[in-house]
Amino acid sequence: MSWIRKTAAELADALAAGEVTSVELTQAHLDRIAAVDGAVHAFLHVDAEGALAQAAASDARRAAGAPASALDGVPIAVKDVMVTEGLPTTCGSKILEGWIPPYDATVVTRLREAGLPILGKTNMDEFAMGSSTEHSAYGATHNPWDLDRIPGGSGGGSAAAVAAFEAPLAIGTDTGGSIRQPGAVTGTVGVKPTYGGVSRYGLVALASSLDQAGPVTRTVLDSALLHEIIGGHDPKDSTSVDQPLPALVEAARLGAGGDLSGLRVGVITELSRHEGGQGGWQPGVMTRFQESVDLLVKAGAEVVEVSCPHFVHALAAYYLILPAEASSNLAKFDAMRYGLRVVPEGIDNPSAEDVMRATRDAGFGDEVKRRIILGTYALSSGYYDAYYGQAQKVRTLISRDFEAAFEKADVLVSPTAPTTAFKLGEKLDDPIAMYLNDLATIPANLAGVPGISVPSGLADEDGLPAGIQILAPALADDRLYRVGAALEAALLEQWGGPLLDKAPTLEGGAR
């Protein structure tokens, strides 16, 4: 099997055994990017030279007997929302075109210190607003399972890169589902850690109280390995949790043994009943979900049904809180400090405000403008209590729903997204239809609890991947890995190999 199809854990073993060098691995992935990214468009920027230099440094460390981490030498792709010193960072927006950050995000610093060569920056919906990556100002990313379909969003680039074997690992960010939903629709694994579990320093903020960076991989163990590298306290982020991470890799290895006896799994009523609910659950997604729950029972888990009555209001609360925070965070793009500056024509001596207005008009896309207007309105005096204040109350009720549910169950489960990947363009003109994709993922962001999406199989209707989401209490991220790895092991046995082996090969299929 070629190197690109191996998991990160397998690559790490091969590097340790001296069977391959990091330069060879990195080159193999760069070759793959060159071969298929014309069709997939997962990357906004590829840094071949930088990645190969980092790979050579990794090989030198290993030759000296001093690898920097378990993943030293395994290449990675990074979502373009993380600032990278010397590498373009656009957040998928024209307003940051040409901006080269002068520093690294903490996540990036940790990747560099751990010796992972950075292949490049991945495509995303502009400022992480979207569920399809179609809101990128640089063109959409295509789902490797079907190039006419969306790869999810906002982190569709990271998920597609991993699903198309362009990178064994990637970094994503999840404000309302942008790691987990792309994972579900591309047949990959994605983890949103506990809020505060991974530093937000250098993550260009969308909604600061919701944003969280995390792993995008092909296996549960690979996510655990990556999470241990990027996670943990960072004094540069005031919301960072000052506690050691739980033993995530150990939990994944334990889970892979397949024994879940004594574990209580709560099926969330509001997110697993497609009759009469919000969002239009696709029958094939529900069937694969139910089968996954049955496998958890087979592994020894006890299944209980739990009701989280306020989850039905999560989407409405999110679309007040997120725009409110985003409108404030995006105010810094004022044509003075970063990237684009448009001087309006036809005005004598344009003022700073004229330049700002013209720059924002040209630099921000429609979805970003929509949310800035919504957020500014929700925060305006006179409306603040009615909208933002109410939404914060709903947020508290959702946290309480989680607290009550975690009294009855150790982890909670639901399908990750209501449907498989839809066609490019299908929901682009219907913001509400787009927002409904995150129905199941948003509650975890509002409450700050961690979640993982694991592939559950292919839906019968369309043969496209579906995902199951596993949620745990804050700081109990290890439970995601234990349960995720147990389920993955059972499913792999059923499928006779990785789900992605069933995806069409892209070689020669480039359009």
- Please give the C-alpha separations between residue 474 and each of 194, 445, 477, in angstroms, as whole numbers: 5, 11, 7
Single out the segment in contact with ligand GLN by CB under 6 A; choices: 88-96, 171-179, 302-310, 456-464: 171-179
Pairing verdict, β 264-268 and 411-415: parallel
79 carries an active-site annotation: yes
Report if residue 67 touches ligand GLN, rule: CB under 6 A: no
**Residue 392 burial by Cβ neighbours in a 10 Å radius (0-12, 13-18, 19+):** middle
Q: Which is nearer to ligand GLN, 313 or 482 (CB)?
A: 313
Residue 174 Cβ vs ligand GLN, minimum distance, rounded to whole Å:
5
Q: Which is nearer to ligand GLN, 130 or 339 (CB)?
A: 130
414 carries an active-site annotation: no
- Degrees (nearest 5) of the Cα angle 493, 418, 504? 50
How far is residue 127 CA from its own chain's centroid?
13
As a whole number of angstroms, the distance between CA 205 and CA 194 comes to: 17
Please identify which residue in 69, 93, 122, 131 interacts with ligand GLN, judged by CB under 6 A: 131
Cross-strand pairs, 192? 451
As a whole number of angstroms, the distance between CA 72 and CA 15 comes to: 9
Report if residue 241 touches ligand GLN, rule: CB under 6 A: no
Query: Active-site residue among 79, 94, 192, 427?
Result: 79
178 carries an active-site annotation: yes
Q: Which is nearer to ligand GLN, 126 or 401 (CB)?
A: 126
Residue among 265, 257, 325, 322 at smallest CA distance from 289: 265
Single out the segment in contact with ligand GLN by CB under 6 A; choices: 136-144, 170-178, 303-311, 385-393: 170-178
Report if residue 185 touches ligand GLN, rule: CB under 6 A: no
Query: Active-site residue among 58, 69, 154, 414?
Result: 154
Residues between 287 and 326 with contacts to ligand GLN, criterion CB under 6 A: 322
Residue 318 Cβ vs ligand GLN, minimum distance, rounded to whole Å:
7
Report if residue 177 touches ligand GLN, rule: CB under 6 A: yes
Please identify which residue in 130, 197, 246, 457 interacts with ligand GLN, judged by CB under 6 A: 130
As a whole number of angstroms, the distance between CA 293 and CA 123 comes to: 33
Question: 197: part of which helix (H) or strand (E)?
Answer: none
**Residue 303 burial by Cβ neighbours in a 10 Å radius (0-12, 13-18, 19+):** middle
| Assigned token pair, 487 | 């389920």
Residues between 337 and 366 with contacts to ligand GLN, criterion CB under 6 A: none
Cis ω on the peptide bond leading into residue 154 (within 30° of 0)?
Answer: yes
Report if residue 453 touches ligand GLN, rule: CB under 6 A: no
Report if residue 175 touches ligand GLN, rule: CB under 6 A: yes
Report if residue 176 touches ligand GLN, rule: CB under 6 A: yes
Query: Active-site residue among 22, 136, 178, 453?
Result: 178
Residues that bind ligand GLN (CB under 6 A): 128-131, 153-154, 174-178, 206, 322, 438
- Which residues belong to the active site? 79, 154, 178
